Amino acid sequence: MNRLFNLVFLFLFSLNLTGQSPLDYVDPFIGTSNFGATNPGAIVPQGMVSVTPFNVTGSESNTFDKDARWWSMPFAFENKWFSGFTHANLSGVGCPDLGVILLMPTTGTVEADVAKYGSTYSQQKASPGYYSNQLDKYGIKTEVTASQRAGLSRFVFPKGQSNILLNLGVGLTNETGASIRIVNPQEMEGSRMTGSFCYNDGSERPIYFVARFSRPATKSGVWKKMPEMQAEANWSATNGTYKYYQNYQYTLSGDDVGAWFSFDTQADETILVKVGISYVSIQNARENLETEMPDFDFEKTHQRAREKWQQTLSKIEVEGGTDTQKTIFYTSLYHINIHPNVLNDVNGQYPEMEGFGIGQVKDRNRYTVFSLWDTYRNVHPFLSLVYPGQQLDMVRSMIDMYRESGWLPKWELNSRETHVMEGDPSIPVIVDTYLRGLQDFDMETAYKGMVHSATTEGKSNKLRPDIDHYLAEGYVPLEEEFDNSVSHALEYYIADWNLAQIAKKLGKEADYQRFLSQSLRYREYFDKEFNMIRPKLADGKFLRPFDPKQGENFEPSPGFHEGTAWQYTFYVPHDINGLMQLMGGEKVFVSTLQKVFDENLFDMANEPDINYPYLFNYVKGEEWRTQKEVNRLVNTYFKTTPGGIPGNDDCGTLSTWVVFSMMGFYPVCPGDMNFALSSPIFDQITIHLDEQYYPGKTLVIKTIRDNTQDQYIKKMKRNGKPWKDYFISHQELVKGGELVFYLK
């Protein structure tokens, strides 16, 4: 009863004076253009299923890119050719994968070719847990919603023959292999491979599904795409290279297979389809479906999805500001809560890391989609503060991955390691979580896993394959023209600094000294000639010639991944004071950092430099520059348009940056418990702390200004007393209470 009361109170509290709640400010179309790579599909927080409009293949009318299959998103706002609804998708990632189990309503003769059966669309709408459009070609209204592991589609058909197709031959990447079986006139089941993320071999998984219809079909069948001129007995019809067979009773397998269910419909007749998925088995997919979606009640399912989002988004309440600012804030908070997402079925089973075993969890979730090079910087510190229960389960999931595979994850997807991006990013996530007071996990095993990747020599080290020279000489040398060597090492330094902090916390003094020393050897890269980080060769000499601007606009750059020397030079957040000394003192540090912004050397669309605006706080008297640049970046780069995220959202990383920045504090370095302060956007922000982990109950951040243009901090107060520091610790914030900013 108390829990119910608290939920009702939270909901009522979240309604502002106009009757609007956080849900009303979410626009799922933000980020669906400008390579933001988000999608407007129906999903619940951390949902395994997302029922997403698929419009990036199948027609030359698509304007976003003629080779759209390469791109990482199932939906691009510019495109207008709808191919169906996919049920397993990623949001805000930089490489293609998933976009599978494609469900499409049509009318008339059954057609399996996606380029022929697709349709333009109009009247599209999206909100948390819901998407709808009108298919121009067929006059069909579509609506979709979702639970954690199942999707529900509602189609309103015209009079005549109406069809629902399930296409297993379309996806976003190099997937091959699928199977499908019609169980009865009202149900089908099957599986298909997911493909490999960024086309890296070995990261594929089968995904299983069960689809059930609200009424039996008049007729049904399967299809398979065959090689040209190949004859096969028992095929009842041929249309180009697609072979159709009606009332097929057996499992059909191949690289491009599908099924169709046809209905004789009256005008405006509604047919619903629910699809359950699993990464373990068809049996589990059916159990997921029957447990979470026992009926075809669309309104009830939609309402439950909205309630889950309401509960999630209402953890932070904002007052004041404009509707545009609230839309940016709550849409970003929405994006943060999509990944990592739940991998286990309702019975707790999940596929084990890097193998074919089946694991099982009890009383918690196993998570997947760990885009850690992106998310270790701010997403996981944010989750630790606002959603500590979920963050703990994510860390437990990472430790389970080490137990199962022998390595902590780097960029994990569906219990497969994709080996994408740089560094050893599990270490800062685990250490940062523990130091924030979330310690209910097996730190002994975690520590073994962290030390294992930080010390194992040779190419067998899956997280640090170039570790030998790093351990011997303190840096990774440039050996090939574009080998990302500096980017690798800078990430190792941050990981080793975090490992030193946890070693100290655990009383392992020798390890503390060792890893701290390693973390400070970034100085090997510092070149006095340019006064910045510069690639270094194996013989100890700096790379020549050297252009600090090379790598702009994601062009290849010697030693740096997705960036320039300017965008990496300040990325030693664990030793900013040491970097300042190398540069020649505070004045040089400030002027050089300001040059990054003044000369457009800063990239808001990528991770290595996104903490730069907050580095001015390290120099007394220069904190105003942080306030100026943060406010400018928020107002310049984040919009309420489809291109309103400045680049790839990277599983919520850019969204987390803007949420933190609009609240007035930011985690400059994971493992460092101090947040850098800036001027908040809103008049009042209330964070409802999870009382199971933080006794403070609520943290209220107030902003007092004479007019809306005020952005510089005049003074601050903490629970009525002056606060003169431009940093505040996590431990101080979770005590709750009040933090007041007075702006001028």
- List b or e across 267-290, with b for residues whose CB sees 16 or more CB atoms inside 10 angstroms: eeeebbbbbbbbbbbbebbbbbbe
- Of 17-26, 320-329, 724-733, the range with the lowest mean pLDDT is 17-26
Give the list of residues 6+ apart from residue 718 with CB closer than 8 angstroms, or none.
728, 732, 737, 738, 739, 740
CB atoms within 10 A of CB 331: 28
Q: What is the mean pLDDT of the chain?
A: 93
Domains of the chain with CATH codes = 1-30+314-341+631-744 (3.30.2080.10), 34-310 (2.70.98.10)
**How confident is residue 161, by pLDDT bands cut at 50, 70 and 90?**
very high
CB-CB contact of 98 with 90 (8 Å): yes
- Predicted confidence at residue 72, as pLDDT, reads 67
CB-CB contact of 147 with 292 (8 Å): yes
Bridge partner residues of 528 (DSSP)? none
Q: Name the nearest CA neighbour of 166 among 150, 188, 147.
A: 188
Bridge partner residues of 341 (DSSP)? 368
DSSP string, 585-603: SHHHHHHHHHHHHHTT---
414 Rama sector, left if φ>0, alpha if ψ -120 to 50, beta otherwise: left
Peptide bond into 695 cis (omega under 30): no
Rounded distance between C-alpha atoms, residue 688 and residue 471, angstroms:
44
Checking if the pLDDT of 387 tops 50, the result is: yes
What pLDDT digit, counting tens, does each position of 575-585 carry? 999 999 999 99
Amino acid at 618: Y
Amino acid at 75: F
Pairing of strands 665-667, 119-127: unpaired
Checking if the pLDDT of 109 tops 80, the result is: yes
How many helices (H) does the chain have, and how many strands (E)?
A: 19, 36
Checking if the pLDDT of 33 tops 80, the result is: yes
**How confident is residue 64, by pLDDT bands cut at 50, 70 and 90?**
very low
What pLDDT digit, counting tens, does each position of 296-338 carry? 999 999 999 999 999 999 999 999 999 999 999 999 999 999 9
What pLDDT digit, counting tens, does each position of 492-514 carry? 999 999 999 999 999 999 999 99
**How confident is residue 238, by pLDDT bands cut at 50, 70 and 90?**
very low
Rounded distance between C-alpha atoms, residue 714 and residue 734, angstroms:
24
Rounded distance between C-alpha atoms, residue 688 and residue 697, angstroms:
6
What mean pLDDT comes out for the span 135-158? 98
C-alpha dihedral, 157 to 161 to 166 to 167, nearest 10°: -110
What is the pTM assigned to this prediction?
0.95
Rounded distance between C-alpha atoms, residue 434 and residue 581, angstroms:
31
- Of 52-66, 331-345, 571-585, the range with the lowest mean pLDDT is 52-66
Encoding tokens for residue 257? 């297979």
What mean pLDDT comes out for the span 353-362? 96
As a whole-number percent, the residues of the chain with pLDDT over 90 amount to 85
Give the list of residues 6+ apart from residue 609 with CB closer than 8 angstroms, or none.
563, 566, 567, 568, 570, 571, 596, 602, 603
- Of 169-178, 430-439, 564-573, 700-709, the range with the lowest mean pLDDT is 169-178
3-state secondary structure 367-389: EECEEHHHHCCCHHHHHHHHCHH
Amino acid at 199: Y
Peptide bond into 545 cis (omega under 30): yes
**How confident is residue 2, by pLDDT bands cut at 50, 70 and 90?**
very low
- Of 173-182, 315-324, 336-345, 398-407, the range with the lowest mean pLDDT is 173-182
Encoding tokens for residue 425? 């990013």
Checking if the pLDDT of 239 tops 60, the result is: no
What mean pLDDT comes out for the span 467-496? 95
Half-sphere exposure of 49 (CA within 13 A, CB side): 33
DSSP state of 227: -
Compute CA distances 343 → 100, 288, 412, 417, 469, whole Å. Answer: 16, 12, 12, 15, 38
